[in-house]
Amino acid sequence: MNKTDLVAAVAAATGQTKTDAAKSVDAVLDAITSELKAGGDVRLVGFGTFSVAQRAAKEGRNPRTGATIKIAASKQPKFSAGKGLKDAIQ
């Protein structure tokens, strides 16, 4: 399922037009993104938790040359599925 399919599913489930459903989907995604940028978590009970994971700097190797390279520290988005979502797909 891509974003267009998600918008169509939301429109069908809520009776909204596809334009209004697209605005709703965009608003939810923007709210999640803004909270993660601010360093917070988004907890959706029964669905899961969106959070930011810190990755420490480390050394790696260039597979072609074997030379050691430094990999910078970074922040990565993370999603942990909740019990309700896990149970739903079983």
Task: For 24-54, write each residue's pLDDT tens digit.
Answer: 999 999 999 999 999 999 999 999 999 999 9
Task: State whether 53 and 9 are in the same domain.
Answer: no
Q: Alpha-carbon distance 61 to 70, whole Å? A: 8
Q: What is the pLDDT of residue 24?
A: 96
Q: Alpha-carbon distance 25 to 3, whole Å? A: 9
23, 25, 19, 20: which is closest to 6 by C-alpha?
A: 25
pLDDT interval class at 68 (50, 70, 90): very high
Task: State whether 46 and 75 are in the same domain.
Answer: yes
Q: Give residue for tokens 């939810």.
A: 28
Q: What is the value of pTM for the model shown?
A: 0.80
Task: State whether 83 and 45 are in the same domain.
Answer: yes
Q: What is the tally of structural domains in the chain? A: 2
Q: What is the pLDDT of residue 80?
A: 96
